Amino acid sequence: MKATVVGAPGVGPPVGGPAPGDVVRGAEEMAGARPSRKILWGFLPISVLQVGFFLAPLVVMVLYSLWTAQGVRVIPHWTLQNYANFFTTRMYLITLLKTAAISLVVTLVALLFGYPFAYFLVRYVRKQLQVPLLMLVIIPFWTSYLLRVYAWMGILGRKGVINSLLMGLHLIKEPLSFLLYNNMSVTLVFLYLYLPFAIITLYAAIEKFDFTQMSAAADLGAPPWRAFLEIMLPQTKQGVITAFIFIFIPMLGEYIAPKLVGGTSGTMIAILIVNLFRGFQLPQGAAVALSIAVLITIVLIVFRRYLRVEELI
Amino acid sequence: METSGRARLTHAAFVLYGLLGYSFLYVPVLLLAFFSFNKSATGNLPFTGFTLHWYADLFRDYLVIDAFKNSLMVAAFTSLLATAIGTAAAFALVRAHLRFSEFLRVFFVLPMMVPGLLIGIALLVFFSSMLSLPLSLGTVTIGHVVMTTPFVVLVVASRLVDFDRRLEWAAADLGANPLATFRYVTFPLILPGILAGALFAFTLSLDEFVITLFTIGPQTTLPLYVFSQVKFGVTPKINALATLLLLGSISILLFTFYALSRLGRPGKAKPREVG
């Protein structure tokens, strides 16, 4: 799934300047204005939507994961067998571990490449140019996910750009087959998909950093790497962790990229889930899917302090 | 001047790194567009000549046109519903000053945190097994509304937080009834925020694949059509379609950012004059 949080330059809450909210709240108290109860009706439509078409389906999934499959039908016969299967089947566990490993690697690589890029934007680009250049980073992120994966099929494929180029230059005789359908191609494509998000989030953190501290550290004799590790990194931690969460979590549910560029060796847990549902093994599929949901919930709870979604949009 | 030489080198290195970064982000998409104009049917090198043949092909393909109509219809309804639901929620969230509004906010953006795959299969099981509802473009739209409403809530709420309520009180003091106050003061001021939310919802819906895959009946949408073709490899016709879709999303995005930036500077957006 598309990672679903993103920043837009210059559209965040205005930095500095007067905060109209403070004044307003003060004025409101003075005027003795009480918020009208009628405003609460605004919650009605979204509650119907969320409860009816988000929570209820998830509850049904929980039920199905605890029921028994009989042929293609599901009968309300309570069991924990579906979960037991998940945790005792080698193939499921290996796929889960692999998914977590790929997600972790992609997240770390995206942070590693994204950090210097964000630093470049903050330090080496003129202030007026920063917003347009950041926009250039964001635009690909909001365009079709599927098409961005497809673009790489045309580059890495058997008849792709790299192979045609190398063969045209007579550097190779046979097309290279290791470019596509493995862990490497999946990781590369994921990096392409998620790097913009890492950059946007890190930019927001680095932009707030006061760089005079680095000069102070240098004056006091700290080598640059030490100043970075002890001053800059701790102060930009918020951005690093936010990027980590919002790359790692959607990665766990990735379906399209492993399906299109992963081949059999680059498979991930989402493909397994889809196959189970396609094979009408609903209870088993539901159990695997919910295990992922639980994993995500744990990550969200552990990092809940860093979940400032509203700052990112 | 050893340090200045080193600083210049670092500067050059970072600029080079930045250029490489932008190339990484844009070369794949540009190549995709480039090969949509290539005469060669392989959708790849070598470039054998310029043609618009693949675009013409696209407009003659009734499957593509049908998918396009479906996508547009779903996106329009999704955008309309998500904007209405999300805006109402944003108003209540910002203005009701509830003690548990923090909890509500997290609850309302929850669908953003859950992978689309989970939403998709949960809805599939819910619609087909529990409700025995036939899957259709309607069920797709419901899925898209669930996914996009949180975005509208966040965009509109962040605009409302910056809103200067004294303007509304001034209107009331001058004798405007609540409806007129909303119509002539509140609405014009937050319109860019609402518009941005609507456009976000529209683009997200237009590009949505996984939720659509599970909630759709016999119909098809553009991303589903692309997926069904892509499985067999790269073709210049899909490149042409992809190029048009990318251009479409980018135009909508630029317009959205423009709308948002107009309200990014408080005081610049002016309410419409009455009468």
How many Å lie between the alpha carbon of B144 and the closest alpha carbon of chain A? 11
Higher pLDDT pick, A309 / A42: A42
Interface test with A, best of B25, B124, B142 (most A CBs within 10 A): B25
Q: Is residue A303 part of a domain?
A: yes
In order of A104, A250, B58, B207, B226, the CA distances from B66 in angstroms are 40, 31, 11, 16, 13
Within 13 Å and on the Cβ side, how many CA atoms surround A123? 23
User: How does pLDDT run across A182-203, given as a tens digit for each residue?
Assistant: 788 888 999 999 999 999 989 9
* B-chain residues near A274 (CB < 8 A): 117, 121
Of the partner residues B25, B115, B143, the one whose CB lies closest to the CB of residue A137: B25
pTM flag (> 0.90): no
The residue type of A36 is S
Give the residue among A156, A153, A162 at the shortest CA–CA distance from A259: A153
Minimum distance, in Å, between the CA of residue A88 and any CA atom of chain B: 22
Structural domain contains residue A300: yes
Chain A's closest residue to B212, CA to CA, is: A1
Domain count, chain A: 1
How close A185 gets to chain B, by Cα (Å)? 14
Q: Between the CA atoms of A94, A302, A308 and A121, what dihedral angle is there, to the nearest 10 degrees?
A: -60
Residues B170-203: tens digit of each pLDDT: 888 888 888 888 888 888 888 888 988 899 899 8
Question: Looking at the predicted structure, is the pLDDT value of residue A227 above 50?
Answer: yes
Q: What is the tens place of the pLDDT at every residue in B129-169?
A: 788 888 889 999 999 999 999 999 988 888 887 777 788 88
Share of chain B above pLDDT 70, in %: 91
Please check whether residue A66 lies inside any domain of the structure. Answer: no
What is the rounded average pLDDT for all residues in chain B?
A: 84
Sign of CA dihedral B257, B262, B265, B271: negative
By C-alpha distance, the chain B residue nearest A56 is B126
Q: Is there a domain that residue A7 lies in?
A: no
**Top-confidence residue, A248 or A313:** A248
Contacts of B149 in chain A (CB under 8 A): 46, 49
Q: What is the pLDDT of residue B262?
A: 65
A73 DSSP 8-state letter: E
From the list A200, A196, A191, the residue with the least C-alpha distance to A105 is A191
Nearest CB among A125, A140, A249 relative to B113 is that of A249
pLDDT one-digit tens code per residue, A24-83: 444 444 444 455 677 888 889 999 999 999 999 999 999 989 988 877 777 888 888 888
Residue B30 has which token pair? 């540009």
State chain A's maximal CA–CA distance in angstroms. 82
Report the percent of chain A where pLDDT is more than 90.
19
Candidate from A20, A74, A121 with C-beta closest to B164: A20
Contacts of A155 in chain B (CB under 8 A): 28, 31
User: Which residue in B28, B113, B158 is closest to A313 by CB distance?
Assistant: B158
Give the Cα separation of A8 and A78 in Å (integer): 48
| Structure confidence by residue, pLDDT tens digits, B31-89 | 888 888 887 766 666 677 777 878 888 888 888 999 999 999 999 999 999 999 999 99
Per DSSP, which regions of chain B are E strands?
A: none
Residue A147 to residue B226, Cβ atoms within 8 A:
yes
Q: Is A74 helix (H, G, I), strand (E, B) or coil?
A: strand
* Residues B86, B84: Cα–Cα separation, whole Å: 6
For A272, name the nearest residue in chain B, comparing CA atoms only. B117
Q: Does B270 touch chain A (CB under 8 A)?
A: no
Inter-chain contacts counted by CB atoms under 8 A, chains A and B: 296
Mutate which of A41, A146, A156 to disrupt the B interface (most B C-beta within 10 Å)? A146
* Pairing outcome for strands A73-75 and A68-70: antiparallel
Helices (H) and strands (E) in chain A, counts: 16, 2
Q: What is the pLDDT of residue A35?
A: 55
Instruction: Determine the structural domain holding residue A274 and report its residue range.
Output: 83-311
Res A12: pLDDT: 38
* B49/A contact by beta carbon, under 8 A: no
Nearest chain A residue to B96, by CA:
A35
Query: Is A21 a member of any domain?
Result: no
Give the confidence band of A210 by pLDDT, cuts at 50, 70, 90.
confident
Nearest to A46 by CA among A55, A36, A57: A55
Average pLDDT value over all residues in chain A: 80
Residue A153 lies in a domain: yes
Given an 8 Å threshold on Cβ–Cβ distance, is B117 in contact with A250? no
**Residue in A with minimal Cα distance to B161:** A21
Q: Is residue A128 part of a domain?
A: yes
Two structure tokens written together for A112: 């590693």
* pLDDT at residue A206 tops 80: yes
Calculate how close chain B gets to A140, using CA atoms only, in Å. Answer: 7
Rounded Cα distance, A7 and A290, in Å:
29
- How many Å apart are CA B151 and CA B163, to the nearest integer? 19
Q: Which domains does chain B have, with CATH numbers?
A: 58-264 (1.10.3720.10)
Chain A: closest CA distance from residue B274 (Å): 24
In a domain, A22, yes or no: no
CATH number, domain with residue A164: 1.10.3720.10
Task: Tell whether ipTM is more than 0.90.
Answer: no
